[in-house]
Amino acid sequence: MLKPLAAIPLLLAAAQAQAAGSSYVFCDNGLRCVKAPCPSSNALDLGTGAVVRGASIDTGRLPRKDRTPDAVDRLHVGRLVVRGFVEMRTRTYTGRSYDLPYLVATTVERAATAAEGARCTAR
């Protein structure tokens, strides 16, 4: 069993890893649905190649400089690489609770390549 003080460095390391985040491409995957939750977006982790299907994006932590008028449009078509992390959030729709993935974007890194955008939209 860990001593309470011994756990502090582990918690700090986990918090720093989450703060640093990974690079992601977020995109609309083309799926459409008639009731929530709707899995119509993906998030591609460029570090691992894993695709988080059915993700939503939280842009509330983006700095002002990254909140350009076209940023939302460019995000949804997979044209931007953002730094961030994925967290699960519980949302309730029509009386049922769902644990859904959210990409929390913390900064815009660069424009995505065509290949990155295509990998993101792949179903």
Residue 11 within a domain: no
Residue 110 within a domain: yes
Total domains present in the chain: 1
Parent domain of 87: 21-121
Residue 3 within a domain: no
Complete DSSP assignment for 1-62: ---HHHHHHHHHHHHHHHHH-EEEEEEE-S---SSSS---EEEEETTT--EEET-EEE-TTS
Residue 16 within a domain: no
- The pLDDT of residue 19 is 52
pLDDT in tens, 46-68: 999 999 999 999 999 999 999 88
Residue 99 within a domain: yes
Residue 4 within a domain: no
pTM here is: 0.79
With a cut of 80, say whether residue 123 has pLDDT above it: no
